[in-house]
A and B are shown apart, each in its own frame.
Chain A
């Protein structure tokens, strides 16, 4: 283990430079955040990820945000284990009917001020799964959404651009 740690100490970091915040995301977020909330949160945002019926593709790319290339934590974002600790809900999936109540309860358990980011084409409108008996179709049908990050699944850079836009508005 010592050898591995030492070797990596000599290498240059893998982490990519920060992307510019997404323009479309900034437009969507526009006037939604008030000043008081910005002051209270500073530069740190706690994210609770909620899978509301995704195919798990979005989860894989959200996971990738934590790897050395994207290193989400350098921006002050960190994933938390409970909605009670969260500022942001990152919701994926077309919201299955069977997950609707769990999503509503998770939202209710998240303290104010809070933001909801719907991830993926499914989170926007149900994506390929829209139209059936088993999906509500879009996170905004169930809880208020502040930002959509489209893609099937969005890649980590797109996720990062969207989240940075959120950070800029919150800050």
Chain B
């Protein structure tokens, strides 16, 4: 976790650049195009994986993470000519991110492999909202989907309004009979301009906004934001706050995994699992509301700590929840494991090439179901997980079944974690004042949500307001892989594959 790890090849490459002071906890360097290209070559060779790529007027930032040393590092490239050497050209996971930069900031990826707009659908009253906003000169041409050629191919357009109670996005299937030949996603429908709303926001408002980037991960997002603010201002928060945050984060993971396990089985037409898992999910939400006053735990984690302490009856409520989960969950696992018709749908469906998972630095359940053991609670890690024992379950089959099993194992881990937290919860205050730096400071945090690693990078102005904040959802590196996972599967298995990924539209579209 040391920010000054001398064994890090990534930091050796970055170290040629100019170190930016006031960036914590990891190092940020302003680099030249030459260093930038060395960095891209390292990405292409999988020496390090991409954590994030975002822009601001005149500059792009690239966060990378090195496998061996576990050290993240950030490179910033000034782009005086309004463009930067394309990252996506060498490293495909960056393509959508740099298309988003082109739409939002107006910086173009030079020689980029895909220059189509991504978040900008040509409906906004302005262009480049995060750069120098201009009125749109002319209407954008219709979005060109990638061509598919061959005999007997037909297309199925789906969305943005879907059949279920889910978020909007467009899927363009090309199929040969029942088999999917290509899926192309078209996202951006729920773009709310959150980064633009964050510019100049007070910390209080910013925490509310970041907590609503993706509602199902509100604790993880609020935690990532709070940790980035605390890193930037060099604030140490009370120990009890750390433990309560972890408690909330595990409750969130528990609720979402229960919901997902049920919903995946439901998409394999096995509604019984959904009915039972939905009851478990509801029990977690009710316990959360009873302990912290909000079913989804929104606005409970803030910079400086948490807003609510566990009430006197909180421990018995949560212990009762644990007991109920331990009673009700194992029979459901057995049911899942022993129902042949369900196994028939889930096993060997939506298989993802593990090499792609590594290349995309794909986190969360999808990554861990394909042998990528990354978990931000372990590495780079944050308190109190360094004092708690837990396993990071990993499988290698990389199909729908493996993704269900990882969720099952993570439910068990979360139950054990909650038990450990309740046993060792330190006493004391749950919120502390933030240090006032009185100057420009920057911070970054990486937090493991139920979906994967969430990155928040921010810059605070001297008056303590947010000058720039970029939240990066794990879905950025998962959505593209859904296109790969569905290839060769039948159209009817798409909902199953999609649900086993459960990517966030809102978190991705921002």
Please list the residues of chain A having a beta carbon within 8 angstroms of any beta carbon in chain B: 1, 3-5, 14, 49-64, 66-69, 79, 81-83, 93-94, 96-102, 106, 128-129, 131-135, 152-153, 155
Contact = CB atoms under 8 A, between A and B. Distances in A.
B166 A94 contact: no
B285 A64 contact: yes
B168 A134 contact: no
Given A54-B506, A128-B212, A133 B196 contact: yes
Contact of A67 (B189, B279, B332): B279
Contacts of A133: 124-126, 129, 133, 193, 196
Contacts of B123: 97-98, 100-101
Interface string B72-99: 0000000000000000000000000000
Q: Which of B192, B196, B213, B332 has the most CB of A within 10 A?
A: B192
Interface string B462-479: 000000000000000000
A14 B280 CA distance: 12
B164 A81 contact: yes
Interface in B181-236: 188-194, 196-197, 205, 208-209, 212-216, 218
B192 A134 contact: yes
Interface in B455-499: none
Interface in B278-298: 278-279, 281-282, 285, 289, 295-296, 298
Interface residues of B, number: 54
Contacts of B275: 67-68
Nearest to A82: B163
A68 B216 contact: no
Contacts of B194: 129
A94 B275 CA distance: 30
B335 A4 contact: yes
Nearest to B168: A51
A67 B197 contact: no
A1 B165 CA distance: 27
B3 interface: no
Contacts, number: 148
A56 B272 contact: no
A99 B168 contact: yes
B215 A58 contact: yes
B295 A134 contact: no
A56 to B, nearest CB: 5
A9 to B, nearest CB: 13
B311 interface: no
Contacts of A134: 124, 129, 191-193, 196
Nearest to B280: A67
A51 B167 contact: yes
Given A99-B168, A129-B197, A54 B190 contact: yes
A51 B214 contact: no
Contact of B192 (A5, A82, A129): A129
A157 B258 CA distance: 21
Contacts of B285: 64
B215 A60 contact: yes
B272 A94 contact: no
Given A4-B272, A133-B126, A106 B197 contact: no
A98 B214 CA distance: 17
B331 interface: yes
B247 to A, nearest CB: 20
A132 B188 contact: no
Given A1-B272, A63-B259, A134-B191, 20 more contacts: A1-B338, A51-B167, A52-B168, A55-B506, A57-B215, A57-B216, A59-B215, A60-B215, A67-B279, A67-B282, A69-B282, A81-B163, A97-B123, A98-B124, A101-B123, A102-B168, A128-B209, A128-B212, A129-B193, A132-B197
A132 B212 CA distance: 15
A126 to B, nearest CB: 9
A135 B193 contact: yes
21 contacts: A5-B272, A14-B279, A51-B166, A59-B165, A60-B259, A60-B296, A62-B165, A63-B165, A67-B278, A67-B281, A67-B282, A68-B282, A94-B192, A98-B191, A101-B123, A129-B193, A129-B194, A129-B209, A133-B126, A133-B133, A134-B192
B295 A96 contact: no
A56 B216 contact: yes
Given A62-B165, A64-B285, A132-B196, A97 B124 contact: yes
Contacts of A93: 190
Contact of B189 (A49, A102, A132): A102
Contacts of B331: 3-4
Query: Lowest 6 CB-CB distances: which A-B pairs, in order?
Result: A57-B215, A134-B193, A81-B163, A132-B193, A55-B215, A67-B278
B246 to A, nearest CB: 21
Nearest to B165: A49
B296 A98 contact: no
B335 A132 contact: no
Given A1-B272, A56-B214, A79 B165 contact: yes
B269 interface: no
Interface string B96-134: 000000000000000000000000010111100100010
A136 to B, nearest CB: 10
Contacts of B189: 53, 96, 98-99, 102
Nearest to A65: B165
A59 B168 CA distance: 11
Contact of B279 (A51, A68, A97, A102): A68
A57 B190 contact: no
Contacts of B124: 97-98, 133-134
B505 to A, nearest CB: 7
A55 B215 CA distance: 5
